[in-house]
Homo-oligomer: A and B are copies of this chain.
């Protein structure tokens, strides 16, 4: 059920679809000769991937110093149920990006990057909230990883059982996994009379 029959792809549009549909990536880096992996919100910006975090976060400062990083982004999209356990696997798309992060210093570029990160999670939200303060911007580190060196794997869509198994009694097929947003829950300290905003309504209505 769990092997990864990997099918490499060099299709940049397919990479972009995966990244644009992914909210979280895993950044790996080396610290004192040891591997470290950290999850982070991500958003694609053209030929780069953006990430951000607190200037006080140790892992952000590690990534920011230009050391080599490896970003893994995986969408688990269901099960490929074969006639045997051996041939069964996951329905998935996965990308690995190698490179070094650059700090986004320019104020205009930084603001635009943060807006893009917000929009990738919740389209329309930027227009509904106040401007970030100078203090908030100063407390935020924005990183940009170029999409220069990457590899992309897309799972087979159906199991490839040997003829003996195909002739047998076991079922085979795909079970897709779907993700969807549920009913929004207002914060306990929300003032009365404030409606769910258009951005959230659009996200939930899908």
Contacts and interface: CB of A to CB of B under 8 A. Distances in A.
A183 B168 CA distance: 23
Contact of A158 (B34, B126, B168, B188): B188
Contact of A172 (B26, B72, B76, B187): B187
Contacts of A203: 79, 175
B118 A88 contact: yes
Contacts of A190: 171-173
Contacts of A38: 72, 96
Interface stretch (A9-17, A102-110, A192-200): A192-200
A33 interface: yes
A178 B177 contact: no
Contacts of A4: 39-41, 53, 57
A46 interface: no
Contacts of A179: 177-179
A166 B182 contact: no
Contact of A129 (B83, B96, B175): B83
Contact of A170 (B128, B132, B168): B128
Given A181-B176, A185-B173, A189-B166, A85 B126 contact: yes
B52 A3 contact: yes
A148 interface: no
Interface string A117-144: 1101110011011101100100010000
Nearest to A180: B178
B171 A2 contact: no
Contacts of A2: 23, 41, 43, 52, 117-118, 120-121
